[in-house]
Every structure is written in structure tokens, then in C-alpha cells.
């Protein structure tokens, strides 16, 4: 019967969200959290529940560990991220960049934080203006991620030719986005190569229905 696992089917567990997939191979993309097939592990018979009510220790497969620095990087890769276009405006200059560090801090008041590399032009303009916008990409936003992520706004107008609108704060926002938000910076924290900006959300709009782009989905669909 379709959708029911047989005793011969393999089962795969997403190591990020725990989703279980039945089939000969893991899915290309996890339908729950969006990570690719490399994040799935085969569930061994010893891992599966049985009718024996006796509690027994379950042996987990041991993954060969890399050196400490590689282990830290690989551990960080397992954190789920979205992909966002962070935009800003100051004294007639518009700019934006792709970022994966954007997250809600509180809902009342509505506050979020973003992490921006200090070398980026967007960082310079946010510090001068104290304002920024967020356009949340949908799952067809790969071209936007590349346009805003692979070149500097000091040398080119990244918004040229795109469908955009200017928010109440004067910041350009993408039309082709799930939602947009505008924010005013409250404070900032030095994070080494990056600055973490804490901000009040002053405006939001719903433009589309759909699922947001994740970093894992973007990497798998490049």
C-alpha cells in the first residue's frame, strides 16, 4: 500500500529535524526543514522500536570524527538558516546584500537581529542610516541570492532591472519576496568580523504565499 513502509523498506532519519523517510535512498530535500540528503542517516534495525517493553540501550552508529576545527565547522553547518535580502538607504545610495543571519528576538515589541560583515557596503550604510529592510526569499529566489550575494554594491546597482518598491522608511524592498519588513536599529554588538544589529520592526507586509528559502535548500538547488 502506498505510503506504508514494508519490512524490506529502508528508513532514513533527518539528523536536523527528525523527519523519517521510507525508501531505498534518502530524499533529495527534507520536506520539513529543507536540508539535503547528506543530513540523513540510515535507521538500523537496532534503532527501530519493537514490542519488547524492556528498556534496552540502543547502539547508535559512530561517525568518524574530523579534527576539532573541522568538527566545529561541520557542527555549525547543521544549524538551520534562512536566506534574506538585507537592504538599506543613505543619502541617495541604495544597497542590499544576501544574508543568512536574521532572526526574531521578541514579538512584543517586534524586534529582530541581523548579522552583517563589517567589510560589506551594506554594513557601512546601516551604521550611517540606522535603518534596514528585510525581504524574505521564496524557494525560487536563487537568482536574487546570487545577485545580492556575489558582488559588491560599491561597484554596481544590484537593484537595477528588478521589480522593487520603496518602503515608508525610504528603503528599497523586493516585490518578489514572501514578506518584507522594515526596521530601526536600537543597538549593535561587535562580533569580530561581523556586527550584530538589534532593531525594532516598524513595518511589515505579506506579498506571497509559500515556503521560505533555506540556506540548505539553496545549496542543494544551485
Q: Quick check: 132 and 183 in contact, CB under 8 A?
A: yes
Q: What is the pLDDT of residue 19?
A: 80
Percent of the chain with pLDDT over 90: 51
Q: Quick check: 94 and 157 in contact, CB under 8 A?
A: yes
The strands making up 93-99's β-sheet, listed across from edge to edge, are 93-99, 84-90, 131-136, 179-191, 194-206, 110-117, 102-107
What does the pLDDT look like over 78-87, one tens digit per residue? 777 889 999 9
All structural domains of the chain: 11-65 (2.20.28.10), 84-221 (2.30.110.10)
Confidence of residue 1 (pLDDT cuts 50, 70, 90): very low
What does the pLDDT look like over 103-116, one tens digit per residue? 999 999 999 999 99
Average pLDDT across the chain, whole number: 85
Confidence of residue 131 (pLDDT cuts 50, 70, 90): very high
| pLDDT of 23 strictly over 50 | yes
What does the pLDDT look like over 44-54, one tens digit per residue? 865 555 555 55
**CB-CB neighbours of 68 under 10 Å:** 8
- Taken in order 219, 211, 89, 164, the sign of the CA dihedral is positive
Q: Quick check: 135 and 174 in contact, CB under 8 A?
A: yes
Amino acid at each position: 500500500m502506498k505510503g506504508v513502509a514494508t519490512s524490506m523498506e529502508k528508513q532514513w532519519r533527518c539528523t536536523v529535524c527528525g523527519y523519517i523517510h521510507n525508501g531505498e535512498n534518502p530524499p533529495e530535500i527534507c520536506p520539513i526543514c529543507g536540508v539535503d540528503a547528506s543530513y540523513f542517516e540510515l535507521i538500523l534495525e537496532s534503532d527501530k522500536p519493537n514490542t519488547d517493553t524492556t528498556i534496552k540501550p540502543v547502539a547508535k552508529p559512530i561517525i568518524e570524527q574530523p579534527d576539532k576545527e573541522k568538527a566545529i565547522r561541520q557542527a555549525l553547518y547543521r544549524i538551520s538558516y534562512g536566506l534574506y535580502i538585507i537592504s538599506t538607504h543613505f543619502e541617495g545610495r541604495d544597497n542590499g546584500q544576501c544574508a543568512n543571519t536574521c532572526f526574531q528576538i521578541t514579538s512584543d515589541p517586534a524586534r529582530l537581529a541581523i548579522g552583517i560583515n563589517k567589510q560589506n557596503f551594506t554594513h557601512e550604510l546601516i551604521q550611517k542610516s540606522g535603518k534596514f529592510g528585510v525581504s524574505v526569499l521564496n524557494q525560487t529566489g536563487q537568482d536574487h541570492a546570487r545577485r545580492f550575494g556575489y558582488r559588491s554594491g560599491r561597484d554596481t546597482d544590484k537593484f537595477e532591472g528588478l521589480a522593487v518598491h520603496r518602503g515608508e522608511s525610504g528603503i528599497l524592498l523586493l516585490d518578489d519576496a514572501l514578506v518584507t519588513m522594515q526596521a530601526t536599529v536600537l543597538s549593535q554588538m561587535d562580533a569580530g568580523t561581523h556586527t550584530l544589529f538589534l532593531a525594532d520592526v516598524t513595518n511589515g507586509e505579506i506579498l506571497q504565499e509559500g515556503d521560505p528559502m533555506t540556506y540548505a535548500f539553496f545549496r542543494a538547488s544551485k
